[in-house]
Each structure stands twice: as structure tokens, then as C-alpha cells.
């Protein structure tokens, strides 16, 4: 059987969504993705480069490197919580609703990692 593109419930082959509510949520998701894609990509690029640069700077200037690495992790986690835009592969495999939950869970993990980096470097040396 075919599955609803938003929630994953089984539907007939002539439908794309199981209800009007699922279609409304899916349309909102795609509109929001299109609207904020550039902001999401820009922040991701800055954070992805900020984390290794911060980790490198931790060996030279510990407070600056720690702040950059932890701040980049926390910012990346926040952007994943606010804008949970999963990849197309995730959407195909898990459908939109579950993909959003997984992405938000990853965002929480990245925030925790940033806090861990900040906490460990504060108490070590």
C-alpha cells in the first residue's frame, strides 16, 4: 500500500495524503522550507566551519576556541530546532512528520554537545 506523504498512514494509490489536515501541514512545511532555505543554509555553513576552527583554536587560545566551538554547536542546534528541514532522503524514508521529529532530536543532541564542550573545557585546566 501507498503511504501518506506527511504522516505515513496507509492510503489508496489514487491519493497523496490521508486527510486535508495532512495536506495542509505538508504544504506549510514545503512553503516554510522554501522561504527559509537560504537562511538555514547560511547558518549551517557558518556553524559547520566554526566548529572545527574553534576546536583548532582551543589548542592555541583556549577561551576563544571554546567560545567559538561551543557557540557554533549551540547555534546549529537551535537552528535545527527552529527550522527542522530534513533531507529528501529522510523524508522519503520516514515521511515528513517523523523526519521533523528526528531532526529536532538531532538539534537537541547538538546543543548538548556544545554545552558539553563548554563545560568540559571550563573544568579541565
Residue 57 inside a domain? The answer is yes
Instruction: Measure the CA angle with vertex 85, ends 11 and 108; round to 5°.
Output: 110
Residue 19 inside a domain? The answer is no
CA dist., res. 8 & res. 3, Å (int): 5
pTM over 0.85: yes
Residue 20 inside a domain? The answer is no
Residue 5 inside a domain? The answer is no
Q: What is the pLDDT of residue 26?
A: 95
Q: What is the pLDDT of residue 125?
A: 55
* Overall domain count for the chain: 1
Residue 113 inside a domain? The answer is yes
Residue 28 inside a domain? The answer is no
Q: For 29-92, what is the HEC assignment?
A: HHHHHHHHHHHHHHHHHHHHHHHHHHHHHHHHCHHHHHHHHHHHHHHHHHHHHHCCCCCHHHHH
Q: Return per-residue pLDDT of the chain as tens, 125 residues.
A: 789 999 999 998 889 999 999 999 999 999 999 999 999 999 999 999 999 999 899 889 988 999 999 999 999 999 999 999 999 999 999 999 999 999 999 999 999 999 998 888 877 75
Residue 11 inside a domain? The answer is no
Residue 56 lies in domain:
37-123
Q: What is the pLDDT of residue 124?
A: 72
Amino acid at each position: 500500500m501507498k503511504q501518506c506523504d506527511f504522516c505515513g498512514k496507509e492510503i489508496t494509490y489514487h491519493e497523496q495524503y490521508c486527510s486535508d489536515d495532512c495536506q495542509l501541514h505538508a504544504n506549510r512545511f514545503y512553503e516554510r522550507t522554501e522561504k527559509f532555505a537560504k537562511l538555514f543554509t547560511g547558518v549551517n555553513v557558518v556553524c559547520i566551519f566554526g566548529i572545527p576552527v574553534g576546536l583548532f583554536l582551543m589548542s592555541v587560545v583556549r577561551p576563544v576556541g571554546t567560545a567559538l566551538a561551543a557557540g557554533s554547536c549551540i547555534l546549529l542546534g537551535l537552528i535545527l530546532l527552529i527550522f527542522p528541514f530534513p533531507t529528501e532522503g529522510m523524508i522519503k524514508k520516514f515521511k515528513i512528520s517523523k523526519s521533523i521529529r528526528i531532526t529536532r532530536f538531532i538539534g537537541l543532541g547538538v546543543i548538548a554537545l556544545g554545552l558539553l564542550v563548554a563545560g568540559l573545557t571550563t573544568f579541565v585546566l
